[in-house]
Chain A
Amino acid sequence: MSARSLFDKVWTAHEVVGETADTPAVLYIDLHLIHEVTSPQAFTVLKALGLTVRRPERTLGTMDHSTPTSSEQVFGNVPIKVDAAAKQVRQLEQNAAEFGVELFAMRDARRGIVHVISPELGSTQPGMTVVCGDSHTSTHGAFGALAFGIGSTEVGHVFATQCLLQRKPKIFAVNVDGRLRLGVTAKDLILAIIGKVGVSGGTGHVFEYRGSTIDRLSMDERMTVCNMSIEAGARAGMIAPDETTFAYLKNKPRAPKGADWDAAVARWRGLVTDPGTRFDASVDIDASQLEPMITYGTNPGMVVPITGAIPEISGDAINDKALRYMGFHGGDAMLGKPIDVVFIGSCTNGRLEDLQAAANILKGRKVAPGVRLMIVPGSQQIKRDAEAAGLAEIFKAAGAEWRESGCSMCLGMNGDTVAAGQYAISTSNRNFEGRQGVGARTLLVSPYTAAASAVRGRITDPRELL
């Protein structure tokens, strides 16, 4: 038998019907994650057609995108500020009850960002197919799952059949070797990868992150890397499961137990790309040369080392437009630019290791006057863990806002927004125009760089404070 990729092994194991020239493959979905924003229209279709959710036990719901992060609105008697968001939340509660889908509702201790809660429960496992009506579903590829975002129509398809119609994508090897230097994180690595591949370079492909650097990353770090695969246009990003993966999953509430665990690990060990497998495309990254990275424009591919300057490109109307939006000029140094808001959180960097990194910098320091630092844990579990570890005390003593979990300021749907013209240093995943609020200017960075910049009130190289 010829050499096969990790992707190919997972894909083939889920082909209910193989693709032909005339028809796409029918692909079985092991885990369907849903949230309040992209599911209501799909439930409406089910109701109109008189259909049920075929496999409710393979469906898990949470609320994260439009939910408030203030404790008073989540746990107190203060109503959700945004009326339409309150309606979405109620509708998901009604739909989940009507169709028998498990839902972590507003006050549930297990609630959080959809891409954070599933791994922490052990629901995301190697070799699975995982989908969600959210493009950052690529996060779950960190476990060697094939995980990708879908639209609401496809959410309805999975509800009704537990399957999707899919054409097989191509595979793209992202080879990363060398040791990351102090202060350089998984976030900096993925930003550098996107800078090199470009924001559309991965279109039509599934990334497989490989190499000694990837092998040494923790699961939290691998999730950060896979999370942003979509920002390079890739449909999914995968990392072969290994001892790090198994150690993370062991004893998680929904991971297999006892003999089932042993059998699962034995099966998962086969989920590696065979030697001699040919990829359709590849890129090589020397991790030992990377610095902390920061974006300067309006897509994640417009990125430079933090000690660098904005490229001077003449005669490019699109580059000019992005710099005009950002209020920057070609040739400007990034270090020292003033900032207004700092956001630490999101499905990219809202996990415990991210909060620990921020706390390492913030411990015994204060947020600069006039700067707002908002720290939003990825889940209620992470919130409790951070409080137990003393991180929340460090944040509060530094003058940061310590919030309930959710997507929050990553996309500003819930009212957590950045004002027009303000500069936001953010650990999230998109610096698109208006992403964090109308006219908001976003600079994507690691949790270290975000925390260091909060302390100085300016774009700061975190290595100065580590």
Chain B
Amino acid sequence: MEPLERVRSKTVVIPSSNIDTDQIIPARFLTTTTKEGLGKQLFADWRYGADGAPNPAFVLNKPESIGCQVLVAGHNFGCGSSREHAPWALLDYGFRAVISTQIADIFRSNSLKNGLLPITVDDSTARWLEDHPGAEVDIDLSVARLTLPTGVAVTFPIEAFARHCLLNGLDELGYLRSRLGDIERYEAARIKDA
């Protein structure tokens, strides 16, 4: 995983609430056995018509969305299925952060493990962001701070361990494997108890 410390980018706004992982990437694309190349299927049913042609009304098909790394979305983003294909698709497309007033638990966990930063903000910050699509925001993970172009800065909650892993590009598996001695002792004690 690449280290992630700073994201400075314009935003793309999809204001719908409860955007589920079936919208982020529909189930018919889950027959893949790899993580790669899912960006073209991101939001497939909103992004393309039945004939496969891009839907010009959808925000990702607008020229101003090209190169944007920050997605602003409505409340409860990423609800539904546990498919990690959802953050894989967002990352493959080029997003590095998602901002919402609430982000579903499993999606949040999957995102943190892949270098996609889930940011929850208060209602008024969210409303400002939704009202200003394309705003240039500055995210500094080292201090867990999101700065708007107005100069207003808000801090966002992030688990200390997840932040440490993201800042240093570490895989959590390395830490878990460093605890194998504890795991073996736990197993031995449980077998003795049973």
Contact = CB atoms under 8 A, between A and B. Distances in A.
Among A16, A22, A65, A230: residue with most chain B CB under 10 A:
A16
Nearest to B105: A235
Given A87-B31, A433-B45, A23 B161 contact: yes
Among A148, A152, A438: residue with most chain B CB under 10 A:
A152
Contact of A135 (B17, B27, B82, B102): B82
A199 B27 contact: no
Contacts of B35: 41, 152
A153 interface: yes
B98 to A, nearest CB: 15
A433 B183 CA distance: 43
Contacts of B173: 45, 49, 156-157, 160-161
A200 B31 contact: no
A22 B30 CA distance: 35
A164 B84 CA distance: 16
Contacts of B74: 318
Given A38-B82, A149-B82, A413-B30, A167 B110 contact: no
A281 B45 CA distance: 36
Nearest to B36: A41
A412 B27 contact: yes
B182 interface: yes
Interface string B21-38: 011001110111111000
A37 B180 CA distance: 28
A345 interface: no
Interface string A424-452: 00000010111100110000000000000
Contact of A162 (B30, B81, B183): B183
Contact of A165 (B34, B105, B161): B161
Given A26-B183, A203-B102, A318-B17, A233 B82 contact: no
Interface in A91-122: 91
Nearest to B171: A153
B95 to A, nearest CB: 17
Interface residues of B, number: 50
Nearest to A19: B161
A84 B32 contact: yes
A379 interface: no
Contact of A435 (B22, B33, B79, B172): B22
A246 interface: no
A199 B79 contact: yes
A163 B17 CA distance: 33
Contacts of B17: 318
A200 B104 contact: yes
Contacts of A28: 183, 186-187
A202 to B, nearest CB: 9
B28 to A, nearest CB: 6
Given A200-B102, A318-B16, A152 B28 contact: no
Contacts of B182: 16-17, 26
B179 A41 contact: no
A305 interface: no
5 contacts: A24-B159, A41-B34, A152-B35, A154-B110, A318-B18
Interface pairs A-B: 6 shortest CB-CB: A84-B31, A151-B84, A151-B110, A200-B76, A149-B82, A40-B33
A434 B26 contact: yes
B8 interface: no
Contacts of A299: 18, 20, 79
Contacts of B180: 161
A401 interface: no
A204 interface: yes
A199 B81 CA distance: 13
Nearest to B180: A161
A134 interface: yes
B80 interface: yes
Contacts of A84: 31-32
Q: How large is the interface on A (under 10, 10 to 19, 20 to 34, 35 or more residues)?
A: 35 or more
A438 B46 CA distance: 10
A219 to B, nearest CB: 24
A73 to B, nearest CB: 15
A163 B190 CA distance: 15
Contacts of A78: none
Nearest to B112: A153
A82 B186 contact: no
Contacts of A16: 179, 182-183, 186
Contact of B84 (A38, A167, A434): A38
B50 interface: yes
A150 interface: yes
Given A24-B159, A41-B34, A433-B22, 13 more contacts: A21-B160, A26-B183, A28-B186, A37-B30, A65-B30, A87-B31, A150-B106, A200-B79, A203-B102, A321-B16, A413-B28, A432-B23, A438-B50
A167 B159 contact: yes
B192 interface: no
B145 interface: no
Contacts of B110: 151, 153-154
Contacts of A153: 84, 110, 113-114, 172
A165 B76 CA distance: 23
A154 B26 CA distance: 21
A85 B172 CA distance: 30
Given A84-B31, A204-B105, A24 B161 contact: yes
Interface in B99-118: 102, 104-106, 109-110, 113-114
Contacts of A411: 22, 27, 81
Given A153-B114, A200-B79, A161 B177 contact: yes
Nearest to A89: B31
B32 A233 contact: no
Contacts of B83: 37-38, 151
